[in-house]
Amino acid sequence: MDKETLLQALRKEGIREDAFDLDGRHLSETYTLSESCGRWLVYYSERGLEAGKKEFATQSEACEYLLNLLKNDPTTRM
Protein backbone atom coordinates (compact mmCIF):
# COMPACT_ATOMS: atom_id res chain seq x y z
CA MET A 1 0.00 0.00 0.00
CA ASP A 2 1.23 3.50 -0.80
CA LYS A 3 0.00 6.93 0.35
CA GLU A 4 -2.44 7.34 -2.54
CA THR A 5 -4.02 3.93 -1.89
CA LEU A 6 -4.17 4.75 1.81
CA LEU A 7 -5.92 8.05 1.11
CA GLN A 8 -8.53 6.27 -1.02
CA ALA A 9 -9.11 3.68 1.72
CA LEU A 10 -9.49 6.40 4.36
CA ARG A 11 -12.05 8.25 2.27
CA LYS A 12 -13.96 5.01 1.70
CA GLU A 13 -14.00 4.38 5.47
CA GLY A 14 -15.39 7.88 6.13
CA ILE A 15 -12.33 9.10 8.04
CA ARG A 16 -12.22 12.89 8.47
CA GLU A 17 -9.40 14.42 6.41
CA ASP A 18 -8.40 16.68 9.33
CA ALA A 19 -7.75 13.58 11.48
CA PHE A 20 -4.58 12.62 9.59
CA ASP A 21 -1.58 13.99 7.75
CA LEU A 22 0.29 11.93 5.17
CA ASP A 23 3.08 14.47 4.64
CA GLY A 24 4.74 14.66 8.08
CA ARG A 25 3.85 18.32 8.70
CA HIS A 26 3.31 18.06 12.49
CA LEU A 27 -0.23 19.37 12.39
CA SER A 28 -1.94 19.59 15.76
CA GLU A 29 -4.01 16.63 16.91
CA THR A 30 -3.55 14.42 13.86
CA TYR A 31 -2.31 10.94 13.13
CA THR A 32 0.79 11.45 11.01
CA LEU A 33 2.76 9.49 8.43
CA SER A 34 6.27 10.67 7.64
CA GLU A 35 9.56 9.44 6.23
CA SER A 36 12.95 10.03 7.81
CA CYS A 37 16.29 8.55 6.77
CA GLY A 38 14.65 5.80 4.74
CA ARG A 39 12.34 4.73 7.59
CA TRP A 40 8.60 5.32 7.79
CA LEU A 41 7.08 6.77 10.96
CA VAL A 42 3.53 6.83 12.28
CA TYR A 43 2.62 8.88 15.35
CA TYR A 44 0.01 11.14 16.87
CA SER A 45 1.08 14.76 16.54
CA GLU A 46 -0.03 16.99 19.39
CA ARG A 47 1.47 20.41 20.05
CA GLY A 48 4.72 19.43 18.36
CA LEU A 49 5.07 16.13 20.22
CA GLU A 50 5.14 12.73 18.50
CA ALA A 51 3.10 10.44 20.76
CA GLY A 52 3.05 6.68 20.25
CA LYS A 53 5.67 6.81 17.50
CA LYS A 54 6.23 3.55 15.60
CA GLU A 55 8.91 2.97 12.97
CA PHE A 56 8.55 0.81 9.86
CA ALA A 57 10.95 -0.43 7.19
CA THR A 58 8.47 0.04 4.36
CA GLN A 59 5.83 2.55 3.35
CA SER A 60 3.33 -0.28 2.95
CA GLU A 61 3.72 -1.45 6.56
CA ALA A 62 3.36 2.10 7.86
CA CYS A 63 0.27 2.77 5.73
CA GLU A 64 -1.43 -0.44 6.88
CA TYR A 65 -0.70 0.41 10.52
CA LEU A 66 -2.02 3.97 10.13
CA LEU A 67 -5.16 2.72 8.37
CA ASN A 68 -5.90 0.40 11.29
CA LEU A 69 -5.25 3.15 13.87
CA LEU A 70 -7.67 5.50 12.14
CA LYS A 71 -10.35 2.84 11.58
CA ASN A 72 -10.24 1.86 15.26
CA ASP A 73 -10.48 5.41 16.64
CA PRO A 74 -14.16 6.46 16.66
CA THR A 75 -13.20 10.15 16.94
CA THR A 76 -11.81 10.12 13.38
CA ARG A 77 -15.15 9.46 11.69
CA MET A 78 -17.25 12.06 9.88
Q: pLDDT tens digit string along 9-68? A: 999 999 999 999 999 998 999 999 999 999 999 999 998 899 999 999 999 999 999 999
Please give the model's pTM, rounded to 2 decimal places.
0.94
Identify the pLDDT of residue 21. 97
Identify the pLDDT of residue 48. 83
Longest dimension (CA), the chain: 34
Read off φ and ψ for residue 65, nearest 5 degrees.
-65, -45
pLDDT of residue 78 exceeding 90, the answer is no
Domain that holds residue 60: 3-76
pLDDT of residue 73 exceeding 90, the answer is yes
Identify the pLDDT of residue 54. 98
In 1-60 the beta strands, taken as DSSP E runs, fall at 20-21, 30-36, 39-46, 49-56
CA–CA separation, 38 and 56 (whole Å):
9
Please give the tally of structural domains in the chain: 1
